[in-house]
Amino acid sequence: DVKVTQSSRYLVKRTGEKVFLECVQDMDHENMFWYRQDPGLGLRLIYFSYDVKMKEKGDIPEGYSVSREKKERFSLILESASTNQTSMYLCASRSPGPAVSPLHFGNGTRLTVT
Amino acid sequence: QKEVEQDPGPLSVPEGAIVSLNCTYSNSAFQYFMWYRQYSRKGPELLMYTYSSGNKEDGRFTAQVDKSSKYISLFIRDSQPSDSATYLCAMNRGSNYKLTFGKGTLLTVNP
Protein backbone atom coordinates (compact mmCIF):
# COMPACT_ATOMS: atom_id res chain seq x y z
CA ASP A 1 0.00 0.00 0.00
CA VAL A 2 1.14 3.50 -0.81
CA LYS A 3 1.92 5.48 2.26
CA VAL A 4 2.04 9.27 2.34
CA THR A 5 3.21 10.53 5.70
CA GLN A 6 2.85 14.09 6.90
CA SER A 7 5.19 14.92 9.74
CA SER A 8 2.72 16.65 12.05
CA ARG A 9 -0.97 16.05 12.70
CA TYR A 10 -1.48 19.34 14.52
CA LEU A 11 0.66 22.47 14.47
CA VAL A 12 0.23 25.81 16.19
CA LYS A 13 2.37 28.72 15.05
CA ARG A 14 2.48 32.45 15.61
CA THR A 15 1.91 35.12 13.00
CA GLY A 16 5.12 35.91 11.16
CA GLU A 17 6.83 32.60 11.87
CA LYS A 18 8.37 30.57 9.05
CA VAL A 19 6.60 27.22 8.93
CA PHE A 20 7.72 23.99 7.31
CA LEU A 21 5.24 21.21 6.51
CA GLU A 22 6.92 17.96 5.53
CA CYS A 23 5.57 15.12 3.42
CA VAL A 24 7.19 11.80 2.56
CA GLN A 25 5.90 9.08 0.22
CA ASP A 26 7.23 5.55 -0.07
CA MET A 27 6.11 4.52 -3.57
CA ASP A 28 8.67 6.28 -5.75
CA HIS A 29 5.98 8.54 -7.23
CA GLU A 30 7.20 11.30 -9.51
CA ASN A 31 4.25 13.63 -8.90
CA MET A 32 3.56 15.27 -5.54
CA PHE A 33 1.00 17.87 -4.52
CA TRP A 34 0.09 20.22 -1.69
CA TYR A 35 -3.56 21.14 -1.10
CA ARG A 36 -5.36 23.06 1.57
CA GLN A 37 -8.89 22.14 2.60
CA ASP A 38 -11.27 24.67 4.12
CA PRO A 39 -14.99 24.41 4.96
CA GLY A 40 -17.07 25.78 2.12
CA LEU A 41 -14.06 26.07 -0.18
CA GLY A 42 -13.10 22.44 -0.64
CA LEU A 43 -9.68 21.27 -1.78
CA ARG A 44 -7.48 23.91 -3.39
CA LEU A 45 -4.15 23.19 -5.03
CA ILE A 46 -1.23 25.23 -3.71
CA TYR A 47 1.79 23.77 -5.52
CA PHE A 48 2.75 20.59 -7.28
CA SER A 49 5.90 18.93 -8.51
CA TYR A 50 6.31 16.61 -11.46
CA ASP A 51 9.76 15.49 -10.44
CA VAL A 52 12.74 16.28 -8.25
CA LYS A 53 13.66 19.97 -8.21
CA MET A 54 10.65 20.79 -10.37
CA LYS A 55 7.70 22.80 -9.11
CA GLU A 56 4.60 24.39 -10.55
CA LYS A 57 2.19 26.87 -9.02
CA GLY A 58 -1.30 25.68 -8.35
CA ASP A 59 -4.40 27.80 -7.89
CA ILE A 60 -3.41 29.57 -4.65
CA PRO A 61 0.40 29.79 -4.37
CA GLU A 62 0.59 33.23 -2.76
CA GLY A 63 2.33 33.16 0.61
CA TYR A 64 3.73 29.66 0.04
CA SER A 65 6.80 28.07 -1.47
CA VAL A 66 7.90 24.47 -1.87
CA SER A 67 11.03 22.38 -1.95
CA ARG A 68 11.67 19.03 -3.55
CA GLU A 69 15.29 18.00 -3.16
CA LYS A 70 14.57 14.27 -3.06
CA LYS A 71 11.96 12.28 -4.93
CA GLU A 72 10.23 11.01 -1.83
CA ARG A 73 10.00 14.32 0.05
CA PHE A 74 7.98 17.44 -0.74
CA SER A 75 8.00 20.34 1.69
CA LEU A 76 5.57 23.23 1.91
CA ILE A 77 6.96 26.45 3.35
CA LEU A 78 4.97 29.35 4.74
CA GLU A 79 7.48 32.18 4.56
CA SER A 80 5.68 34.37 7.09
CA ALA A 81 2.62 32.68 8.53
CA SER A 82 -0.61 34.66 8.68
CA THR A 83 -3.95 33.89 10.34
CA ASN A 84 -5.62 33.33 6.96
CA GLN A 85 -3.30 30.37 6.46
CA THR A 86 -5.00 28.52 9.30
CA SER A 87 -6.24 25.42 7.51
CA MET A 88 -5.98 21.68 6.95
CA TYR A 89 -3.03 20.93 4.66
CA LEU A 90 -3.03 17.74 2.63
CA CYS A 91 -0.10 16.25 0.75
CA ALA A 92 -0.64 13.78 -2.09
CA SER A 93 1.44 11.74 -4.48
CA ARG A 94 0.67 10.10 -7.78
CA SER A 95 2.37 7.96 -10.34
CA PRO A 96 2.32 9.58 -13.80
CA GLY A 97 0.24 7.51 -16.16
CA PRO A 98 -3.43 7.25 -16.99
CA ALA A 99 -5.54 10.27 -16.19
CA VAL A 100 -7.42 8.20 -13.63
CA SER A 101 -4.26 7.21 -11.78
CA PRO A 102 -5.24 7.93 -8.19
CA LEU A 103 -3.94 10.61 -5.89
CA HIS A 104 -2.73 9.09 -2.62
CA PHE A 105 -3.24 11.50 0.25
CA GLY A 106 -1.69 11.80 3.65
CA ASN A 107 -3.95 12.31 6.67
CA GLY A 108 -3.31 16.01 6.81
CA THR A 109 -1.72 18.62 9.05
CA ARG A 110 -4.09 20.95 10.82
CA LEU A 111 -2.25 24.25 11.11
CA THR A 112 -3.44 27.02 13.39
CA VAL A 113 -1.77 30.42 13.13
CA THR A 114 -2.42 32.70 16.09
CA GLN B 1 -19.64 29.96 -12.95
CA LYS B 2 -17.39 27.58 -11.06
CA GLU B 3 -15.90 24.73 -13.07
CA VAL B 4 -17.33 22.09 -10.72
CA GLU B 5 -20.38 22.50 -8.50
CA GLN B 6 -21.27 20.08 -5.74
CA ASP B 7 -23.96 20.47 -3.08
CA PRO B 8 -22.11 20.37 0.26
CA GLY B 9 -25.09 18.93 2.14
CA PRO B 10 -25.04 17.76 4.82
CA LEU B 11 -27.06 14.72 3.81
CA SER B 12 -28.48 12.44 6.49
CA VAL B 13 -30.18 9.14 5.59
CA PRO B 14 -31.32 6.00 7.43
CA GLU B 15 -29.38 2.78 7.03
CA GLY B 16 -30.45 0.88 3.92
CA ALA B 17 -31.44 3.98 1.95
CA ILE B 18 -30.34 4.67 -1.61
CA VAL B 19 -28.08 7.71 -1.70
CA SER B 20 -27.59 9.96 -4.70
CA LEU B 21 -24.64 12.37 -4.80
CA ASN B 22 -24.21 14.74 -7.71
CA CYS B 23 -21.89 17.20 -9.40
CA THR B 24 -22.28 19.48 -12.36
CA TYR B 25 -19.46 20.95 -14.39
CA SER B 26 -19.04 23.65 -16.97
CA ASN B 27 -15.86 22.68 -18.84
CA SER B 28 -16.71 20.36 -21.73
CA ALA B 29 -13.01 19.43 -21.97
CA PHE B 30 -13.28 17.26 -18.86
CA GLN B 31 -12.95 13.65 -19.93
CA TYR B 32 -12.17 11.72 -16.76
CA PHE B 33 -14.40 11.62 -13.70
CA MET B 34 -13.65 10.33 -10.25
CA TRP B 35 -15.21 10.05 -6.83
CA TYR B 36 -13.08 10.30 -3.72
CA ARG B 37 -14.25 9.37 -0.23
CA GLN B 38 -12.88 11.11 2.84
CA TYR B 39 -13.47 9.76 6.33
CA SER B 40 -13.23 12.12 9.27
CA ARG B 41 -9.63 13.05 10.10
CA LYS B 42 -8.30 11.15 7.08
CA GLY B 43 -7.14 12.10 3.60
CA PRO B 44 -9.39 11.44 0.59
CA GLU B 45 -9.08 8.09 -1.19
CA LEU B 46 -10.17 7.16 -4.69
CA LEU B 47 -13.47 5.31 -4.69
CA MET B 48 -14.38 5.03 -8.37
CA TYR B 49 -13.49 6.48 -11.75
CA THR B 50 -14.96 6.54 -15.22
CA TYR B 51 -14.07 8.16 -18.52
CA SER B 52 -17.14 7.82 -20.65
CA SER B 53 -20.81 8.54 -20.48
CA GLY B 54 -22.86 5.79 -18.94
CA ASN B 55 -22.79 3.76 -15.76
CA LYS B 56 -20.04 1.92 -13.92
CA GLU B 57 -20.88 -0.37 -11.04
CA ASP B 58 -18.71 -1.60 -8.19
CA GLY B 59 -20.57 -3.49 -5.52
CA ARG B 60 -23.07 -1.15 -3.87
CA PHE B 61 -21.66 1.86 -5.72
CA THR B 62 -22.63 3.09 -9.19
CA ALA B 63 -20.97 6.03 -10.93
CA GLN B 64 -22.95 7.68 -13.69
CA VAL B 65 -21.77 10.27 -16.22
CA ASP B 66 -23.91 12.29 -18.59
CA LYS B 67 -21.55 14.37 -20.71
CA SER B 68 -24.33 15.95 -22.72
CA SER B 69 -25.76 17.45 -19.52
CA LYS B 70 -22.34 17.88 -17.83
CA TYR B 71 -23.66 15.96 -14.84
CA ILE B 72 -22.15 13.14 -12.82
CA SER B 73 -23.66 11.08 -10.02
CA LEU B 74 -22.65 8.52 -7.44
CA PHE B 75 -25.33 6.15 -6.18
CA ILE B 76 -24.94 4.10 -3.02
CA ARG B 77 -27.36 1.22 -2.57
CA ASP B 78 -28.20 -0.30 0.81
CA SER B 79 -26.23 2.43 2.55
CA GLN B 80 -24.37 1.50 5.72
CA PRO B 81 -23.16 3.57 8.69
CA SER B 82 -19.62 2.85 7.45
CA ASP B 83 -20.46 4.88 4.32
CA SER B 84 -20.64 8.02 6.48
CA ALA B 85 -17.97 10.29 5.00
CA THR B 86 -17.43 13.27 2.74
CA TYR B 87 -17.67 12.42 -0.95
CA LEU B 88 -15.75 14.56 -3.41
CA CYS B 89 -16.19 14.49 -7.15
CA ALA B 90 -13.10 15.20 -9.24
CA MET B 91 -12.39 15.51 -12.93
CA ASN B 92 -9.64 16.36 -15.39
CA ARG B 93 -8.94 16.76 -19.08
CA GLY B 94 -6.22 14.15 -19.29
CA SER B 95 -3.18 12.73 -17.56
CA ASN B 96 -1.12 15.91 -17.92
CA TYR B 97 -3.72 18.11 -16.34
CA LYS B 98 -4.45 18.77 -12.72
CA LEU B 99 -7.50 17.39 -11.02
CA THR B 100 -10.39 19.75 -10.28
CA PHE B 101 -12.38 18.85 -7.17
CA GLY B 102 -15.90 19.60 -6.09
CA LYS B 103 -16.30 20.94 -2.57
CA GLY B 104 -17.54 17.63 -1.23
CA THR B 105 -20.85 16.38 0.22
CA LEU B 106 -20.96 15.28 3.85
CA LEU B 107 -23.03 12.10 4.16
CA THR B 108 -24.23 10.56 7.43
CA VAL B 109 -25.93 7.15 7.42
CA ASN B 110 -27.85 6.62 10.64
CA PRO B 111 -28.23 3.07 12.07
Q: Is the pLDDT of residue A71 over 70?
A: yes
d(CA B107, CA B19): 9
Nearest Cα of chain A lies from the Cα of B104 at a distance, in angstroms, of: 7
Residue scoring higher pLDDT (A1 or B75): B75
When pLDDT is averaged across residues A59-85 and rounded to a whole number, the result is 97
- SS3 string of A39-94? CCCEEEEEEEECCCCCCEECCCCCCEEEEEEECCEEEEEECCCCHHHCEEEEEEEE
* Residue ranges in B1-111 assigned as alpha helix (H): none
Q: Determine which of A31, A35, A37 to mutate to test the interface with B (most B C-beta atoms within 10 Å).
A: A37
Would you place residue A53 in the very low, low, confident or very high pLDDT band (cuts 50, 70, 90)?
A: confident
Mean of pLDDT over chain B: 93
B47-to-A54, A97, B17, B56, B83 alpha-carbon distances in Å: 29, 18, 19, 12, 11
pLDDT-based confidence at A2, cuts 50/70/90? low
Q: What's the confidence (pLDDT) of residue A82?
A: 98
Residues in chain B with pLDDT values less than 50: none
Pick A99's closest partner by Cβ from B8, B44, B94. B94
Q: Do A99 and B95 touch (CB under 8 A)?
A: yes
Please report which confidence band the pLDDT of residue A20 belongs to, taking 50, 70 and 90 as the band edges. very high
Mean pLDDT, chain A, rounded, equals 94
Q: Classify B83 as helix, strand or coil.
A: helix
Question: Each residue of A47-59: b (16+ CB within 10 Å) or e?
Answer: bbbeeeeebeebe
Looking at CA atoms only, how far is residue B58 from chain A in angstroms?
A: 16
Flag if A99 and B102 touch (Cβ within 8 Å): no
Per-residue H/E/C for A14-44: CCCCCEEEEEEECCCCCEEEEEEEECCCEEE
